[in-house]
Chains A and B, each alone.
Chain A
Amino acid sequence: MYTAGIDMGARSVKVVFLEELKVEGAPQLKWGVKKTHIMFPEDLDMDVAAEKAYTEALQLAGLAREAVGRVVATGAGRKQVKFAQDNVTEVSAGARGAVFMHPSARTVIDVGAEEGRGIKAAPDGKVVDFAGNEKCAAGAGAFAESMSRALQLSLKDFGEASLRSEKTIPMNAQCTVFAESEVVSLIHANTPKEDIAKAVLDAVASRVCAMARRVGIEEDVVLIGGMVHNPGFVRSLQGALGVDRVLLPDLPEYVGALGAALIAAEIH
């Protein structure tokens, strides 16, 4: 029997099917067998997009709808997934998925495009403590992305450029608008791009770190969300947290959907 986790974002849907295998009488969850990431246009209604994406995901996975016993949705648009039997917040799904992938993880840092959050998780992946920042977008991926555009670098080159810098330029602004003007001043002062890139990523890391401190940093720390792909950010985060290592899951974008599928399996 399969369960499905659907991470419904503003523009994309990620679907993970989880298969429960009986191994010598004990149920063992196997994942990663089927997963799909589908983008949808902005003007498509979310409930329509969810249905479309799920149908496509089933087809790609070669699964019949009846093969899936339970569907749990997560993500900002989770309530629009009408065919899901339940929905859970990104906090619970992220923690559950991250601890499943890295069982030693106790602090989960989730940096998505629009939001960052720090989560303290129990060994079973349940949330013990969490903190987000409802106001400040400077602790999230979209800020890094817009700054990379200001430097005319792709996000990938932006992250790599920052790795070539050893300079620390503090950015004091607490909101994206002022932070952007600080970046513009640095550009006008002919500051090397790599130093600006590092300053921006250090600033995002320091904001994310403040949220993690609120819940208490307990190792191991695992980072989930799109910023996993940014090696410059990972280095900045490691420095800000003062830890030797930050664990990185193989498929960071799917951690939420995986967590939802795991929760679906547990309540199945």
Chain B
Amino acid sequence: MIANYGYKDGSGEYYISIDTDKCLQCPVEQACTRACPKNMFEIITDDYDDQVAAIKQAHRRTLAYDCTACKPAGGYASLPCASACTAGAIKHSW
């Protein structure tokens, strides 16, 4: 399943997408939970009883602000979360 966490507001569309099928055989021992400086990822048991990564509820409305440190103005080369997840499960919409 692709889970899109986030929102769209007047300034843009801010979603982090997690391809949770990839979490089923996570190659890096759920490194997303350790890589994010804001500690935004958690491992949940989803409705199909699978252990998958998710964005914590408290961050889902504030992604644009929470991720600014990793996304300096003028672009970014690699994000800690997406780089840590070698399975390529994490994508940002902005």
Contact = CB atoms under 8 A, between A and B. Distances in A.
Whether both chains belong to one complex is answered with yes
Contacts of A126: 1, 48
Given A130-B1, A130-B4, A214 B9 contact: no
Nearest to A87: B47
A131 interface: yes
Nearest to B9: A174
B65 to A, nearest CB: 11
B41 interface: no
A135 B61 contact: yes
Nearest to B1: A127
B1 A214 contact: no
A211 B2 CA distance: 13
B10 interface: yes
A92 B15 CA distance: 20
B54 to A, nearest CB: 11
Contacts of B47: 88-89, 91-92, 127, 263
- How big is the A interface, by class? 20 to 34
Contacts, number: 55
Main secondary structure of the interface of B (DSSP, over half): strand
Nearest to B11: A174
- How big is the B interface, by class? 10 to 19
A83 B50 CA distance: 23
A134 B48 contact: no
A173 B10 CA distance: 7
Interface string A129-143: 111111110000000
A174 B64 CA distance: 15
B4 A215 contact: yes
Contact of B8 (A127, A130, A210, A263): A210
Interface in A92-115: 92
Nearest to B2: A129
B1 A207 contact: no
A136 B8 contact: yes
B2 A134 contact: no
B3 to A, nearest CB: 6
Contacts of B4: 129-132, 214-215
Closest 3 pairs between A and B when the two form their complex, measured CB to CB: A135-B7, A131-B4, A92-B47
Interface of B: 1-10, 13, 15, 47-48, 60-61, 93
Given A88-B47, A133-B8, 16 more contacts: A92-B47, A127-B1, A129-B4, A130-B1, A131-B6, A134-B60, A134-B61, A135-B7, A135-B8, A136-B8, A136-B9, A174-B10, A214-B93, A215-B2, A215-B4, A263-B47
